[in-house]
Amino acid sequence: MNSCGLRCLFILLSFPYLLQADLSSDYYSKTCPDFDQTLVQVVTDKQIAAPTTAAGTLRLFFHDCMVDGCDASILVASTSGKTSERDADINHSLPGDAFDLITRIKTALELKCPNVVSCSDILVGATRSLVKMVGGPRINVKYGRKDSLDSDMNRVEGKLARPNMTMDHIISIF
């Protein structure tokens, strides 16, 4: 995908959620001043070690945002009583490298500023950094999202394009 396509996709997915109250580009400047530096370092190390990380993380971001917003609900694991978005059939092929990246960033940030940074902001920031790293545009993002504690497989159906959908149906999803 060319850089214009990456930019359009990223903006399309982010725009509705940038309108949330209290989002700002310097959201963590006082509570976690090393947020950006830590995130970029972990992202860089992971992308060097596993060059498919950028594509996988962009796809994970897309799957998260298309189902009820960019709230990290795709990261929530299923429980014995509830199957999460992560385990919906269309998400079975999401790459482990992307999940691993978010876990690594979260761990690094928890050591520096415990209980401060949301996984949804980590996913947005990691995706932004990886898009830029692989030649796409640098997109300014705002932080301050809250993580969803609820994730339900049943919310996924009809919100992500499938190969057997008509073009009209796919367009209606967006």
SS (H, E, C) the chain: CCHHHHHHHHHHHHHHHHCCCCCECCCCCCCCCCHHHHHHHHHHHHHHHCCCHHHHHHHHHHHHHHCCCCCCHHHCCCECCECCHHHCHHHCCCCHHHHHHHHHHHHHHHHHCCCCCCHHHHHHHHHHHHHHHCCCCCCCCCECCCCCCCCCHHHCCCCCCCCCCCHHHHHHHC
Q: Which two tokens stand for residue 113?
A: 């500023």
Question: Does 157 belong to an annotated binding site?
Answer: no
Residue for token pair 């902001």: 121
For helices 3-18 and 53-66, what crossing angle results, to 10°?
40
Question: Does 71 belong to an annotated binding site?
Answer: yes
Instruction: Based on the residue annotation, tell me whether 63 is a catalytic residue of this protein.
Output: yes
Chain length of the chain: 174
Structural domain spans, the chain: 3-173
Question: Does 76 belong to an annotated binding site?
Answer: no
Pick among 1.10.520.10, 2.60.450.10, 1.10.10.10, 3.30.420.40: CATH of 3-173: 1.10.520.10
Query: How would you write the pLDDT of the chain (174 residues) with one tens digit per residue?
Result: 555 555 555 555 554 444 455 899 999 999 999 999 999 999 999 999 999 999 999 999 999 999 989 999 999 999 998 999 999 999 999 999 999 999 999 999 999 999 999 999 999 999 999 999 999 998 999 999 999 988 988 888 888 888 888 888 888 877
The pTM (predicted TM-score) of the whole model is 0.84
Report the C-alpha gap between 144 and 22 in whole angstroms. 6
Residue of 63, 106, 142, 145 marked catalytic: 63
Q: Is 28 helix (H, G, I), strand (E, B) or coil?
A: coil
Report the C-alpha gap between 9 and 13 in whole angstroms. 6
Question: Does 93 belong to an annotated binding site?
Answer: no
Question: Does 141 belong to an annotated binding site?
Answer: no
